[in-house]
Structure formats: C-alpha cells, structure tokens
Amino acid sequence: MKLESGTYLKTADVKTGESVTFRTEGEWVENTKYTYDDGNPKNDFVIGITYKGDQKRMRLNKTNRDILIAAYGQETQGWIGKSAMIVKEKMLVAGKRMDCITLEIPGQEPKEMTKQEKDAAMEDGGQEIPF
C-alpha cells in the first residue's frame, strides 16, 4: 500500500490515553527537512499505525523505539498488531517547550524518562512530529 504525504500522526491531533496499533514493520526514511551539522540528512524511523480507525504514519524517536523494543523485541515485524498508549508531555525541543508524544505499553508501569532519555529524544525532535 502506498501512503500519501500528510498521513503523519501529529501531536496536536492526539490526547493522552489514546492508543495506536502498529500495522507495518516500519522503515528508515531520509529526512528532507533536517540535517546533521555536516550537511548529511537525518534518517527517521517511520512506522505505519492505525489511530482511531485511520491509517497513519508515525516517526519514532530513539526513546519510543527503546520503549517498543523493551516491550515487543528488536524485530519490528513482531510489533505488527501490537498497541501502545499515547502520552503527551511538554518537552524542550530546539529551545522551545512543545507538546511531544511518548509511548507507553498497556499493562506496563510507566517509567519516568531520565534526563539522558529526554536529551536523546530531543536529538530526534523538532521535526513535523516532535516526540
């Protein structure tokens, strides 16, 4: 299935407590908007999800990838059909406080992000969908 642009899950469209279900194993996609200091493009891990019955795409930063790996394993094909709950949090992204998405796994105790995890998340943030 080909996904069209504009199908990304946006922080402004979600609420804490809502869930997403993973429907693809995801892929690394070159980011055309953000680059590293040396000019090379950043790569985003983008995965297909279902949100409120709609098929969307979602960028997963390192923190959210680590949460999913801990819950469902490193093989992303095994994530298909699994769910995660959305938690919106205010985080500092590129010097601005922004709403970001952090994923939690149903049935697991939520874990407070450490400063190191938040910093790692911010390295991937500041894009169309900050996490």
In a domain, 3, yes or no: no
Q: So what's the pLDDT on residue 4?
A: 46
In a domain, 1, yes or no: no
Helix/strand/coil for 48 = strand
Is the confidence at residue 124, as pLDDT, over 90? no
In a domain, 96, yes or no: yes
Q: Between residues 122 and 125, which one has the greater pLDDT?
A: 122
In a domain, 6, yes or no: no
Q: Residues of 84-110 as b/e, b for ≥16 C-beta within 10 angstroms?
A: bbbbbeebebeeeebebbbbbbeeeee
In a domain, 24, yes or no: yes
In a domain, 129, yes or no: no
pTM listed for this prediction: 0.74
Task: List pLDDT tens digits, range 54-80.
Answer: 999 999 999 999 999 999 999 999 999
In a domain, 131, yes or no: no
Tokens standing for residue 8:
């990304």
Number of domains in the chain: 1
Task: List pLDDT tens digits, range 13-37.
Answer: 999 999 999 999 999 999 888 888 8
Helix/strand/coil for 110 = coil
Helix/strand/coil for 22 = strand
Helix/strand/coil for 76 = helix
Q: Where does the pLDDT of residue 119 fall: very low under 50, low under 70, confident under 90, or very high at 90 and above?
A: low
Give percent of the chain with pLDDT exceeding 90. 62
Range of the domain at 55: 11-124
